């Protein structure tokens, strides 16, 4: 199968998954007790039955389930996710406003976790009896067991309360709203440090352990023995032959983990008041702003699906054995 | 092949292993970290379930001035923002956190094992459909999705448990399926089948018992991640307000971290220790159940 064909197949399948996600979310929200009309009436401080009927009519909630679902699906198809009555703006706009902050947090923490994780994993695999190896073992236990919000709070206590180095939360000083792009970026980077490190801590542990394991496996294989036998320098064997081939599992896991990374981001955003999709989701959920909730679920699934397709393609590029299948 | 390697090794070290379970226990005890994990876990369980008998304080009741620091005025772990005894909350909260962790893991193992077993046993279209179904749950943003479930259907112990179980079974399904794919080709399965055993009998009485080791390891890890999941949900304020859990103590004291960090650090540390103990036990189980891996 050619590259284009595979891509087309993956994208088509992704679309089916996405539609299934929308249908599931819509069904859940419809069968749950209480609806938008109740929420709006609650915000108004109560309303009588005729007003409720009127609201339901305006939002099309009196229609049969299938026609509501069809209407929602066809508007999602043109990227219209409805209108948030809580924020008084279109949901698509609201999400696009918040998405960059979340993506910045997720990708910066993943880059940090992968680069440091691979480095530690390689060092540990190279010297199995070293301190680094022990560190990787401890780190991987810590990374799995420590609740991410707890790590974040400990960092806040340490770096905001005890040694005031970093800001307690938020993404940028409000005073810098008119400042230059450069100044703003520096300030955002400064605010990003703690959330990024917190989110990276879980995955740093995972990636270092994974790199160590797959390096150890690759180092035991025949072609490494061959490379050594023909007199290649140890560094070359290590970084050119072994590392390259042990990256496959890392890419697979990084892709598979992406949905979990988004979950982690929700919690980290809540800890640091990072104005991304996670904090938006929490506010929307507490306000029972169903169009926004559904929009966020849709967007996060979309991001996960896109990342999965991308991972698949990257794997095919770095590992010719997959291509052959 | 594995079996022969196994017995020679045991002979070398003069271990008399009569049954596979006995053998497994020997392996397990040999792994000091796993034993340490087991001891730690036992202590935590005792603390949560026997502790309240020794320290009978209502964790909901205001007993002293708010934010009493630990070890002061006779409060070993201090008091929270409402002046409630944190030690009592830790004990009762531990019961809830562990109970939710266990039952959510049970839910996810039940779903995962059924989906994986049927997919692996039948193969073909059934496998295709069930694995697509699994993939679908893999792309759902897990935490967001369970936040929505809890918010929509009301925060109670039941909804929280189900919300966690429903989103976290995919790994169990994949492990179960791959074990079933391997085992269904074995001779003893063919033998049982030729004795005209029915499908359900083959799945649950012949194949499943032999597929259990990796499932047990996965289920064990599941308990740990369910505890973390519950903690994250209650930290975000999405838990039963009438029930104290470790995560809930953290969530409710969170606004005051700069004044009283201990009220947040202590329950977090309890979660950390519990999950750590569980994963140490899990590693030990893994080593004991997969003798092949030990050689690495």
DSSP calls for A44-84? HT---HHHHHHHHHHTTTTS-HHHHHHHHHHHHHTT---EE
Tell me the shortest Cα–Cα distance from B197 to chain A, in angstroms: 36
pLDDT computed for residue A322 by the predictor:
62
B135/B170 Cα distance (integer angstroms): 8
Closest CA to B20 of B28, B296, B294: B28
State the burial class of residue B199 (Cβ atoms within 10 Å of its Cβ: 0-12, 13-18, 19+): exposed
Closest CA to A201 of A246, A151, A272, A158: A151
pLDDT computed for residue A90 by the predictor:
85
pLDDT computed for residue B115 by the predictor:
92
SS3 call for B62: strand
Q: What are phi and psi of B155, to 5 degrees?
A: -85, 105
* Residue from the list B139, B143, B296 with its beta carbon closest to the beta carbon of A21: B139
pLDDT computed for residue B292 by the predictor:
55
Beta carbons within 10 angstroms of residue A142's beta carbon: 16
DSSP conformation class of B254: G
Q: Which tens digits make up the pLDDT trace of B163-220?
A: 999 988 988 898 888 888 888 888 888 888 888 778 888 888 888 888 888 888 888 8
Give me the percent of chain B exceeding a pLDDT of 70.
Answer: 85
In chain B, whose CA is at the least distance from the CA of A293?
B148
CB-based contacts of B56, cutoff 8 Å, min separation 6: none
* C-alpha distance across the termini of chain B, in Å: 17
**DSSP codes joined into one string, A148-203:** HHHHHHHHHIIIIIIS--S-SS-SS-GGGGGS-HHHHHHHHHHHHHHHHHHHHHHH
Beta carbons within 10 angstroms of residue B212's beta carbon: 15
Mean pLDDT of A246-265: 83
B33/B284 Cα distance (integer angstroms): 7
pLDDT computed for residue A86 by the predictor:
78
The overall average pLDDT reported for chain A is 81
Q: Are A205 and A112 in contact (CB under 8 A)?
A: no
Closest CA to B9 of B40, B38, B30: B30
pLDDT computed for residue A323 by the predictor:
57
| Of A294-298, B106-110, B189-193, the least confident | B189-193
B265 and chain A: CB distance < 8 Å anywhere?
yes
B31/B293 Cα distance (integer angstroms): 13
CB-based contacts of A19, cutoff 8 Å, min separation 6: A73
pLDDT band of B110, cuts 50, 70, 90: very high
pLDDT band of B102, cuts 50, 70, 90: very high
CB-based contacts of A81, cutoff 8 Å, min separation 6: A75, A90, A91, A92, A95, A291, A294, A295, A298
Ordered alpha helix ranges (H), chain A: 3-31, 36-44, 49-58, 65-77, 91-126, 131-145, 148-156, 181-219, 222-229, 234-236, 244-256, 258-272, 277-286, 290-318, 320-324
Q: Which long-range contacts (CB under 8 A, 24 or more apart) does B25-28 make?
A: B25/B288, B27/B287, B27/B288, B27/B291, B27/B294, B28/B284, B28/B285, B28/B287, B28/B288
Would you call B141 and A262 a contact, using CB atoms and an 8 Å cutoff? yes
A114/A108 Cα distance (integer angstroms): 10
State the burial class of residue A242 (Cβ atoms within 10 Å of its Cβ: 0-12, 13-18, 19+): buried
| Of A75-79, A289-293, B70-74, B118-122, the least confident | B70-74
Closest CA to A249 of A206, A284, A281: A206
pLDDT computed for residue B75 by the predictor:
67
Q: Is the pLDDT of residue B159 over 80?
A: yes
CB-based contacts of A274, cutoff 8 Å, min separation 6: A101, A102, A105, A169, A170, A171, A195, A268
Q: What are phi and psi of B79, to 5 degrees?
A: -125, 160
Q: Are A207 and A117 in contact (CB under 8 A)?
A: yes
Residue of A125, A150, A163, A206 best to disrupt the B interface, most CBs of B under 10 A: A150
Tell me the shortest Cα–Cα distance from A180 to chain B, in angstroms: 32
pLDDT computed for residue B7 by the predictor:
44
Q: Which residues of B fall within a CB distance of 8 Å from A161?
A: 257-258, 261
Please name every residue paired with A90 in a beta bridge, in sequence order, or none if there are none: A83
Cβ-Cβ contacts under 8 Å between A and B: the total is 139
Treating both helix axes as pointing N-terminal to C-terminal, what angle do A148-156 and A258-272 enclose, rounded to 10 degrees? 30
SS3 call for B75: strand
A168/A155 Cα distance (integer angstroms): 10
Would you call B237 and A262 a contact, using CB atoms and an 8 Å cutoff? no
Q: Is the pLDDT of residue A108 over 60?
A: yes
pLDDT computed for residue B103 by the predictor:
94
* Residue from the list B141, B144, B279 with its beta carbon closest to the beta carbon of A145: B279
pLDDT band of B291, cuts 50, 70, 90: low
Give me the percent of chain A exceeding a pLDDT of 70.
Answer: 90
B104/B245 Cα distance (integer angstroms): 15
Would you call A153 and B279 a contact, using CB atoms and an 8 Å cutoff? no
Q: Which has more confidence, B88 or B72?
A: B88
Q: Which has more confidence, A85 or B173?
A: B173
Q: Which residues of A fall within a CB distance of 8 Å from B254?
A: 153
Tell me the shortest Cα–Cα distance from B148 to chain A, in angstroms: 7
The Cα-based distances of B84 to A65, B67, B79, B246 in angstroms read 48, 9, 5, 14
Q: Are A190 and A166 in contact (CB under 8 A)?
A: yes
pLDDT band of A43, cuts 50, 70, 90: low
Would you call B232 and A141 a contact, using CB atoms and an 8 Å cutoff? no
pLDDT computed for residue B104 by the predictor:
93
pLDDT computed for residue A321 by the predictor:
67
Task: Using alpha carbons only, give the angle B106, B107, B112 rounded to the nearest 5 degrees.
Answer: 95
| Of A173-182, A216-225, A291-300, B129-138, the least confident | A173-182
Burial A265-300 (b: 16+ CB within 10 A, else e): bbbbbbbbebbbbbbbbbebbebbbbbbbbbbbbbb
* Residue from the list B142, B232, B257 with its beta carbon closest to the beta carbon of A147: B232
B202 and chain A: CB distance < 8 Å anywhere?
no
Q: Is the pLDDT of residue B294 over 70?
A: no
SS3 call for B53: helix
Q: Which has more confidence, A264 or A38?
A: A264
* C-alpha distance across the termini of chain A, in Å: 9
Residue of B144, B145, B155, B272 best to disrupt the A interface, most CBs of A under 10 A: B144
Closest CA to A98 of A118, A114, A84: A84
Beta carbons within 10 angstroms of residue B112's beta carbon: 28
């Amino acid at each position: 199968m050619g590259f284009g064909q595979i891509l087309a197949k993956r994208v088509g399948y992704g679309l089916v998954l996405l539609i299934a996600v929308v249908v599931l979310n819509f069904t859940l929200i419809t069968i749950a007790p209480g609806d938008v009309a109740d929420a709006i009436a609650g915000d108004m401080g109560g309303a009588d039955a005729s007003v409720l009927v009127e609201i339901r009519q305006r939002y099309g909630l009196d229609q049969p389930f299938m026609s509501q679902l069809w209407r929602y699906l066809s508007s999602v198809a043109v990227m219209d996710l409805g209108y948030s009555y809580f924020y008084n703006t279109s949901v698509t706009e609201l999400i696009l406003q918040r998405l960059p902050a979340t993506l910045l947090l997720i990708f910066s923490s993943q880059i940090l976790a992968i680069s440091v994780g691979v480095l530690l994993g390689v060092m540990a695999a190279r010297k199995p009896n070293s301190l680094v190896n022990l560190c990787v073992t401890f780190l991987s236990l810590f990374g799995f067991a420590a609740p991410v919000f707890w790590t974040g709070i400990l960092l806040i206590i340490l770096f905001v309360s005890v040694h005031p180095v970093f800001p307690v939360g938020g993404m940028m000083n409000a005073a810098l709203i008119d400042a230059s792009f450069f100044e703003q970026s520096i300030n955002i980077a400064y605010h990003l440090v703690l959330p990024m490190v917190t989110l990276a801590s879980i995955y740093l542990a995972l990636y270092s352990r994974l790199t160590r394991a797959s390096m150890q496996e690759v180092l035991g294989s025949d072609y490494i023995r061959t490379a050594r036998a023909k007199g290649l320098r140890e560094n070359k064997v290590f970084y050119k032959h072994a590392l390259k081939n042990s990256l496959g599992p890392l890419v697979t896991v990084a892709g598979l983990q992406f949905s979990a990374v988004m979950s982690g981001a929700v919690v980290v955003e809540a800890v640091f008041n990072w104005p991304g999709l996670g904090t938006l989701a929490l506010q929307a959920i507490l306000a029972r702003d169903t169009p926004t909730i559904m929009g966020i679920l849709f967007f996060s699934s979309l991001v996960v699906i896109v990342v999965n397709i991308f991972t698949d393609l990257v794997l095919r590029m770095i590992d010719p054995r997959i291509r052959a299948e | 092949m594995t079996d022969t390697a196994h017995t020679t090794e045991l002979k070398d070290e003069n271990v008399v292993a009569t049954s596979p379970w006995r053998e497994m226990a020997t392996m397990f005890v040999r792994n000091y970290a796993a034993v340490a994990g087991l001891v730690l876990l036992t202590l935590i369980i005792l603390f949560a379930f026997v502790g309240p008998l020794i320290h009978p304080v209502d964790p909901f009741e205001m007993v002293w001035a708010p934010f009493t620091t630990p070890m002061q005025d006779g409060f070993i772990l201090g008091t929270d923002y409402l002046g409630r005894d944190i030690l009592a909350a830790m004990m009762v909260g531990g019961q809830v956190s562990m109970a939710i962790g266990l039952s959510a893991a049970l839910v996810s193992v039940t779903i995962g094992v059924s989906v994986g077993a049927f997919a692996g046993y039948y193969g073909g279209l059934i496998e295709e459909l069930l694995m697509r179904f699994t993939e679908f749950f893999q792309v759902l943003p897990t935490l967001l999705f369970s936040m929505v479930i809890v918010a929509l259907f009301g925060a109670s112990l039941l909804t929280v448990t189900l919300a966690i179980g429903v989103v976290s079974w995919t790994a169990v399904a994949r492990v179960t399926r791959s074990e079933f794919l391997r085992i269904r080709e074995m001779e003893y399965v063919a033998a049982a089948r030729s004795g005209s055993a029915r499908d359900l009998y083959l799945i649950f009485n012949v194949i499943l018992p032999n597929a259990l080791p990796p499932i047990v390891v996965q289920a064990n890890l599941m308990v740990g991640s369910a505890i973390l999941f519950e903690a994250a949900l209650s930290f975000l304020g999405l838990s039963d307000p009438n029930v104290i859990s470790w995560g809930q103590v953290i969530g409710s004291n969170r606004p005051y971290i700069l004044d009283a960090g201990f009220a947040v650090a202590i329950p977090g540390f309890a979660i950390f220790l519990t999950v750590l103990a569980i994963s140490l036990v899990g590693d030990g189980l893994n080593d004991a159940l997969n003798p092949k891996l030990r050689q690495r």
